[in-house]
Amino acid sequence: MAPADRIRKALITGISGSGGSYLAEHIAADHPGVEIHGMARWHSTATADNLAAVRERLSLHECDLTDLSAVFTVLKSVRPDAIFHLASHANVRASFVNPLAVMQNNVMGTANLLEGVRMAGIDPVVQICSTSEVYGQVLPRETPVTEDQPLRACSPYGVSKVAQDLLGLAYFRSYGMKVVRTRMFAYINPRRADLFATSFARQVVRVERGLQKEVLHGNLDSVRTLIDVRDAMESYWLAALRCEAGEAYNIGGTTTISCGQFLDLLKKQAKAPIPSRVDERLLRPSDVTLQIPDTRKFSQATGWEPKRSFAESVAFLLDYWRERER
């Protein structure tokens, strides 16, 4: 797609979020010659602490993706060689409560970004960071999930990501834009507290410290294949370099585990007994309970494979929250 020496300017949407900040750290550490730019909403709810390690290495642009004029202004000024589109309302359960806000933000934000690129007359690689939620509830015989699996999203969030995915394909086919779509499966990300693994870890640490009495959880039967967020962000960089425009690629880890098994693992590593119970408010009206990816297409295109072991990722997660709650 884009030789490494051609990506001199990288633009990350949602850079102050949990994924975008780790991607910025990866580029800063492993590609020191790359100029890093980021879009963040002026009213963003993401914590500024996420960018503490790389603040001196990046240029931050206040921009709401639902404002086309603001998007165009940033794109025309920066003229990036690669755009990593991570900005999104990404809480699946919350999307059932605020479906229209999620659809408006995710779909129109992506449409504005793609249209802004076209209007600005630039030709970057645009990597649209999608999700396994686009596949919806798959049957056991349909796993591991390939990129040819029908898109049967069953949450407003999942539907918004399907729209992002297909918008990228439409702009590739209609205007020849260099759009790569990646469908990321579950990852361990300490900075995103609404993910089940992170929520469990944070609550376990709080119980250890006597700050709450028990861990509250939703459905524990869902099965996920987990990857470390740092490996996930490296994969995004490689997608922009080596993947083929117009194609979709599954990305995921190699450790498959149920939510209940993950919670049991954290309990065993806890420094105190950890009681837990179901909280009805954490159950989704429609759940995706089986997410096991076939990642051969992406591995063959990039040569990528995860570097961190599952044990390293769990330790990374617990250490982060033990430090935060201290």
pLDDT in tens, 179-206: 999 999 999 999 999 999 999 999 999 9
Per-residue confidence band for 49, with pLDDT thresholds at 50, 70 and 90:
confident
Q: Into how many domains does the chain fold?
A: 1
The region of weakest confidence among 28-37, 45-54, 133-142, 229-238 is 45-54
- On the question of a cis peptide bond just before residue 80, with omega within 30 degrees of 0, the verdict is no
* Per-residue confidence (pLDDT) for residue 6, from 0 to 100: 82
> Of residues 224 and 4, which shows the higher confidence score?
224
* Per-residue confidence (pLDDT) for residue 46, from 0 to 100: 53
State the Cα–Cα distance between residues 82 and 89, nearest whole angstrom. Answer: 22
Residue 83 in this model has a pLDDT that exceeds 70: yes
Q: Which two tokens stand for residue 240?
A: 């922009």
The verdict on pTM exceeding 0.85 is yes
Q: Is there a domain that residue 260 lies in?
A: no
Q: Is there a domain that residue 24 lies in?
A: yes
The region of weakest confidence among 44-58, 99-113, 115-129 is 44-58
Q: Is there a domain that residue 308 lies in?
A: no
Domain containing residue 237: 4-185+228-251
The region of weakest confidence among 1-10, 24-33, 119-128 is 1-10
CATH code at position 244: 3.40.50.720
pLDDT in tens, 254-280: 999 999 999 999 999 999 999 999 999
Q: Which two tokens stand for residue 19?
A: 């994924």
Nearest to 114 by CA among 178, 197, 26, 22: 178
* Per-residue confidence (pLDDT) for residue 44, from 0 to 100: 54
Q: Is there a domain that residue 147 lies in?
A: yes
Q: Is there a domain that residue 294 lies in?
A: no
* Per-residue confidence (pLDDT) for residue 71, from 0 to 100: 98
Instruction: Give the whole-number percent of the chain exceeding pLDDT 70.
Output: 96
Mean pLDDT, the chain, integer: 95
Q: Is there a domain that residue 123 lies in?
A: yes
Contacts of 100 (CB under 8 A, 6+ apart): none
